[in-house]
Amino acid sequence: MSIKHEVREIGRKAKEAARKLASAEGSARTGALSALADLLESEREFVLRENARDLAAAEKNGLDRARIQRLTISEKVLGAMIQGCREVAAMPDPLGEIESLGKRPNGMLVGKMRVPLGVVAMIYESRPNATVDAGILCLKAGNATILRGGSEAFHSNQALASLMHLALEKAGLPRDAVQVLPTTDREAVKEMLKLSEYIDVVIPRGGEGLIRAVTEQATMPVLKHFKGVCHIFADDSCDLDRAVEIIHNAKTQYPSGCNALECLLVHERVAPGLLPRVAERLGRDRVVFRACERSLPLLGDKYAEPATDEDWGKEYLDLALAVKVVADMDEALEHIARYGSNHTEAILTNDHARSMRFLREADASLVVVNATTRFNDGAQLGLGAEIGISTSKLHAYGPMGVKELTSTKFVLLGEGQIRQ
């Protein structure tokens, strides 16, 4: 069978499965999620063994540290997958809910009913945990999903897909509700992006090159999950002790995450007191600073080097941090507007008016006051899990959980009314 025919058959099966999912009882979808949690628990050795195969190949092929970190299924990551399944299973069923029901002058009742999107395709790199996140969220929302992870995670993704199929069968649902492309051939992705008659939306999640390629080739709507160039602005009223801890967490807790801090903006009045402490605290974790002329002497040459034009707006995904001293909030907001990626922006301040202004004017899917950028995550924001963080404004902005994977249709309840 040719790749073109194989991919078309996957699309056709997904469309058929989506219709069955949309009409299935919510208890069946919940049952599949609970079954998957149990399977991940009981088959943890199988999952870890298959992931180890991918990790060995990645090491052999010289994959960089950041991508290996994202590729790894640790006990902690596997535990988070299991917890995500249980949390999403416990959420209310979003489908069939009627919102904003109101009566028209002629007595008709008009409202909006929440419905699935249909078939969701997702293309992503590394992160095999994204396979489970996408599968369970789409399932809860009544969507069929077609997944294409990076070739470096092939064995991990196939293992996770096999467990999802078992869970679906246990719940009496079609196994084709979740499909992982069975090949690493890039031609399969090109063919999938032509299937607008089967696929309702595609979500690319990964590097800039991947997202641009998908956007250019897709024949269906694309929800962009773009790079995370996240900033923290330390205002001159910020608490220095708290600021150091927040900056340290945002940069070092998981540097390869899309919500990790990539650029620190510091008010000129607080820079002499804050930056030496930042250098000492983060330097112990081997963070290298790309510093502007004003911040360089404050950070010291042990950890810092002069920034270049390329350092502003760069997603390092590593232990590197751009640092710039700014005159005021106006300059900070201008810098963010120019170099940000609409992902996550944060301000550290004790001034309420300034925090409210930053919330209004910083354009990002999550704007934060006095906390780490690392909170831009579906689980942390109460969504249970996420399929990704949309930096588009249509149809969702920010972490996409169950509700963001649904749409609404108008419904009209009449009693014989006709239009005059």
Range with the poorest average pLDDT among 144-148, 156-160, 205-209: 205-209
Domain residue limits at 311: 230-375
pLDDT given at position 210: 87
pLDDT given at position 196: 97
Is position 388 within any domain? no
Query: Percentage of the chain with pLDDT > 70?
Result: 100
* pLDDT of 394 over the 90 cut: no
What stretch of H or E contains 87? helix 75-90
Domain containing 129 — which CATH number? 3.40.605.10
pLDDT given at position 168: 98
Both 236 and 216 in one domain: the answer is no
Both 151 and 265 in one domain: the answer is no
pLDDT given at position 224: 85
Is position 132 within any domain? yes
pLDDT in tens, 248-277: 999 999 998 899 999 999 999 999 999 999
Average pLDDT of the chain to the nearest whole number: 95
Both 248 and 217 in one domain: the answer is no
- Counting the structural domains of the chain, the total is 2
Is position 287 within any domain? yes
pLDDT given at position 239: 98
**355: helix, strand or coil:** helix
Spatial CA neighbour of 177 closest among 47, 10, 338: 10
| Residue 270 neighbours by CB distance under 10 Å | 18
Torsion angle of alpha carbons 58, 64, 70, 75, nearest 10°? 60
| Residue 34 neighbours by CB distance under 10 Å | 17
Query: Percentage of the chain with pLDDT > 90?
Result: 88
pLDDT in tens, 9-26: 999 999 999 999 999 999
Q: Which amino acid is at 232?
A: I
Both 219 and 246 in one domain: the answer is no
Both 70 and 87 in one domain: the answer is yes
